[in-house]
Structure 1
Amino acid sequence: MKGRTILLDHLGEVEAAALMVDGQLEDLLVDTPAPRPGTIYRAQADRPVKGQGGMFLKTPDGSAFLRQIKGLAPGQMILVQVSGYAEPGKAIPVTAKLLFKSRYAIVTPEAPGLNISRSIRDEDTRDRLLEVAHEVAAEAPHGLILRSSCAEADAEEIAEDIAVMLGLADRVLEDDGTEVEVLAEGDGPHVLAWRDWVAAAEVVTAEGSFDTHGVLDALETVRGIEVPLGGGAMMYVEPTRALVAVDVNTGRDTSLAAGVKANLACARALPRAMRLRGLGGQITLDLAPMPKKDRRGFESALRAALRADDIETALVGWTPLGHYELQRKRARAPLVLEER
């Protein structure tokens, strides 16, 4: 099956969305009972953690943890936004820098000014988008970012999207409540698919579409730790409590170039493997043996692959033992992996 297909369905009773590209599962969003990233709380400062430079907060969904707490005192009310999924047994990660994000616009209350995605290079298009933004948001006190999806969008749709996000920002920021409360829910999988998967695609909403379009079969593979890299090479993705370990194996290939080929294939496959499995945090790559002179080529391939991925990932570098480390935002809920 060629082309892009967005499927909006459920896994059991749980809302989920899948993106298939040329018959391959490219992305997956699954709802969880945990607070969704993007949820905004009116929270209460509880107790500082001096050694970590942060503070625990009280929220309707339990304890949250906020870093960079200069000027915040216990008992004070503060607006915060869920920034990712918590590790097991840990507090909900939150930030005080609120973002109001939709398909076409991002409202940035603490970063005034109007910005247009750098991926939109055509000057006529940029001028058209500036006109739309100024018509809707000229008097707004908040900053505004127009996303790359605006390039081919209708002006009325963009204007409506901007207005909705500005209205939500005003309602939240004008809040003067005195009790902990959820002020805005984060987006679920179906809305996230509309918001972030903006390239042209067939959209299927029929119940049971995950089964008829091969998503369930693909999920069986994704739940395993093995990821084929071609030519008999494999990588094994194994999450632990401390980190995600990725082991690259050349298989039966014993040629001099086997390690380099397997590692380059790992670089290209890693973002998709992490994304589908919902994995983040510290990632340690135990790569196949290769000469040090080939490390730069591997880093370039990995950097290029991550540019097409929308989850923030920092390339940390090489360890004395020759492992390569990354730090990835916990933007997805992890799937339970099964060793095969």
Structure 2
Amino acid sequence: MSTVIYTNVTPYETRVAVRENGVLVELMVERSRGRSIVGSLYKGRISRVLPGMQAAFVDVGLERDAFLYVDDVAETLEDEEVEPGEIVPAAPPIQDLLREGQEIMVQITRELGSSKGPRATSHVTIPGRYLVLMPGNSHVGVSRRITDQVERERLRALLAEIPHTGGVIVRTAGEGRERADFLADLAVLESMWRHIESRAAEVGAPCLVHRDLDLALRAARDLSGPTLSEFWIDDTDGYQRIVEFLDRVQPELTSKVKLYRRQLDIFDAFGIAAELDQALQPKVWLRSGGSLVIEQTEALVAIDVNTGRYVGGADLEDTVFRINVEAAREVARQLRLRNLGGIVVVDFIDMEDEGHREALLAEFTTALARDRARSLAGPVGPFGLIQLTRKRTERSLERALTQPCPTCEGLGRVKSPETVCLEIRRALLREAGGGEAIEFAVRAHPEVVRMLSGELRGILVELKERHGLTVRTLEAPDFHPARFEVD
């Protein structure tokens, strides 16, 4: 596999795009005014303990308090650390662990939502290139994405011989690495933790203690690996920082970093801008002529698979299976590309053949395995539904780049002109109150006025002849489509 990273840096935002074998699979945007807080460490103060929810709220100095669940306080193991068959002890009650007014160091694990505060944990993790340092425990773990059992045992044995303060997890990038690589990475991480502890001791709560790397350096840390063929960046200072960073952690990759010097925007030059715009659209066309419709809601992400223009061959079951397999691969890509997380429900086209159902799930699981974010998919349901969860940390691409429509207020729909015309009729009758003949002026959106004067002109005739109301209509181009005024 060949990986190419494109990084666009301006004083106002940083954008990163990732292509694997020529296919765009990830897009990340970080604005200077709203930089991500995921991974940042705060010295906070417990504002509320909620035994009924087994959770607490922590004042970290942001607009909303951070939410801290009991499992994020107790000495439990993270998913990446748990080996198959390992028993994880239950957490004690939250009220036995925390009290209001108590100061606590927390790390943000999920961004602020539209109506929710950030999610936090007291289990601090500091990621490096090959290792993740966990100052709060002594566990040695290996990423579950490293599947070779012999390699897992080698890494565990190697880490057991290296003295370290706190626990460590070997990241996926650590596969095949040797003792010297881990020693160098660990030295940087432990030095960073000492600096964090020192700062935390000096400041009062609530206060930001440590911020994670910016997006460009996070891309260099998390996305650069043996498959990297090119790392393009259009900023001279950023280029220098990435070269220096990789020279410390993976010097063999420094030659892959390229400075983009042309005047044309780097995303335009490499054809990424158009794909970014497409990633904000609900409909995705498949090569076969089928399509996906993706809808992100507060509760979950719903994805519908349609046959579209695809007619296939004579065998309907085979046609449906082919579309579903293509759709499964594209759904996995779109989840990464749009950074969609939480609960996801995919409505595949229903299939009768049990073998096809099993093959579809296997194909989907394989496609999801390429994703850096953890996901877990259930079996194909009786109606063709597959439910899955995908780890959500930062905002989706849609939430990062858009805002609710001021016209429909985020509903995606507005009242039709016909509906508004009928509301106007009822409003006029209320205003008249059954009294004597009276004259009204109605101001409304041009589409509404045109319908009142055209297709539904019978409303004005009826009001005049049956109720004695004379109505003048006035166009108001600046009105919301559902707004009207009666004078």
Which interval holds the TM-score relative to the shorter structure?
Answer: 0.7 to 0.9
Q: How does 1:22-171 map to 2 (within 5 A)?
A: 22-32=21-31, 33=34, 35-62=36-63, 63-68=65-70, 70=94, 71-117=97-143, 119=146, 137-138=162-163, 140-151=164-175, 158-171=182-195
The equivalent of 1:15 in structure 2 is 14
CA drift of 1:92 comes to: 0.5
What RMSD over aligned residues (CA atoms) do the two structures have, in Å? Answer: 3.0
CA drift of 1:151 comes to: 4.4
Do structure 1's residue 205 and structure 2's residue 229 form an aligned pair?
A: no
The equivalent of 1:251 in structure 2 is 308
- Alpha-carbon deviations, 1:240-267, whole Å to 9, x = none? 2221110000123452223222222222
Do structure 1's residue 301 and structure 2's residue 360 form an aligned pair?
A: no
1:24 and 1:124, CA in 2 relative to 1: closer, same or farther beyond 3 A? closer
Confirm or deny: 8 A CA contact 2:151 2:175 kept in the other structure.
no
* Number of residues of Structure 1 aligned to a counterpart in Structure 2: 335
Separation (CA, whole Å) in 2 of partners of 1:81 and 1:21: 31
Name the SS of the counterpart of 1:190 in structure 2: helix
1:88 and 1:328, CA in 2 relative to 1: closer, same or farther beyond 3 A? same
Separation (CA, whole Å) in 1 of partners of 2:171 and 2:395: 25
1:121 and 1:269, CA in 2 relative to 1: closer, same or farther beyond 3 A? same
Confirm or deny: 8 A CA contact 2:30 2:36 kept in the other structure.
no
Q: Which amino acid aligns with 2:191?
A: G
Q: Which amino acid aligns with 1:105?
A: L
Q: How does 1:133-282 map to 2 (within 5 A)?
A: 137-138=162-163, 140-151=164-175, 158-173=182-197, 175-176=200-201, 177-197=203-223, 198=225, 199-207=227-235, 208-254=265-311, 255-282=316-343
* TM-score, normalised by the number of residues in structure 2: 0.62
CA drift of 1:200 comes to: 2.2
- Alpha-carbon deviations, 1:250-301, whole Å to 9, x = none? 1234522232222222222222201211221221112212126133222222
The equivalent of 2:407 in structure 1 is none
Separation (CA, whole Å) in 1 of partners of 2:178 and 2:228: 14
CA drift of 1:65 comes to: 0.5
More deviation in 292-301 or 264-273? 292-301
1:222 and 1:35, CA in 2 relative to 1: closer, same or farther beyond 3 A? closer
Separation (CA, whole Å) in 2 of partners of 1:292 and 1:77: 58
1:333 to 389, 392, 395: 395
1:235 and 1:191, CA in 2 relative to 1: closer, same or farther beyond 3 A? same
1:271 and 1:192, CA in 2 relative to 1: closer, same or farther beyond 3 A? farther
Unaligned 5+ segments in structure 1 are none
1:292 and 1:38, CA in 2 relative to 1: closer, same or farther beyond 3 A? farther
More deviation in 67-76 or 3-12? 3-12
1:34 and 1:8, CA in 2 relative to 1: closer, same or farther beyond 3 A? closer
Separation (CA, whole Å) in 2 of partners of 1:92 and 1:274: 21
Confirm or deny: 8 A CA contact 1:317 1:326 kept in the other structure.
no
Identity of counterpart residues, as a percentage? 24
Separation (CA, whole Å) in 2 of partners of 1:41 and 1:124: 36
1:128 and 1:286, CA in 2 relative to 1: closer, same or farther beyond 3 A? closer
Structure with more of its chain in strand, by fraction: 1
1:224 and 1:111, CA in 2 relative to 1: closer, same or farther beyond 3 A? same
Structure with more of its chain in helix, by fraction: 2
More deviation in 160-169 or 241-250? 160-169
Bigger RCO of structures 1 and 2 (CA < 8 A, at least 6 apart)? 1
More deviation in 24-33 or 144-153? 144-153
CA drift of 1:161 comes to: 2.1
Separation (CA, whole Å) in 2 of partners of 1:188 and 1:222: 23
Name the SS of the counterpart of 1:264 in structure 2: helix
Confirm or deny: 8 A CA contact 1:115 1:144 kept in the other structure.
yes
Q: Which amino acid aligns with 2:397?
A: L
1:161 and 1:315, CA in 2 relative to 1: closer, same or farther beyond 3 A? same
1:323 to 385, 407, 421: 385
The equivalent of 1:314 in structure 2 is 376
Separation (CA, whole Å) in 2 of partners of 1:262 and 1:12: 44
Confirm or deny: 8 A CA contact 2:49 2:56 kept in the other structure.
yes
More deviation in 65-74 or 322-331? 322-331
Separation (CA, whole Å) in 2 of partners of 1:29 and 1:239: 18
CA drift of 1:58 comes to: 0.3
* TM-score, normalised by the number of residues in structure 1: 0.86
Which has the greater radius of gyration? Answer: 2
1:303 and 1:67, CA in 2 relative to 1: closer, same or farther beyond 3 A? same
Separation (CA, whole Å) in 1 of partners of 2:37 and 2:378: 27
1:12 and 1:124, CA in 2 relative to 1: closer, same or farther beyond 3 A? closer
CA drift of 1:97 comes to: 1.4
Separation (CA, whole Å) in 2 of partners of 1:205 and 1:49: 47
Separation (CA, whole Å) in 2 of partners of 1:318 and 1:66: 34
Q: Which amino acid aligns with 1:90?
A: K
Q: Which amino acid aligns with 1:49?
A: L
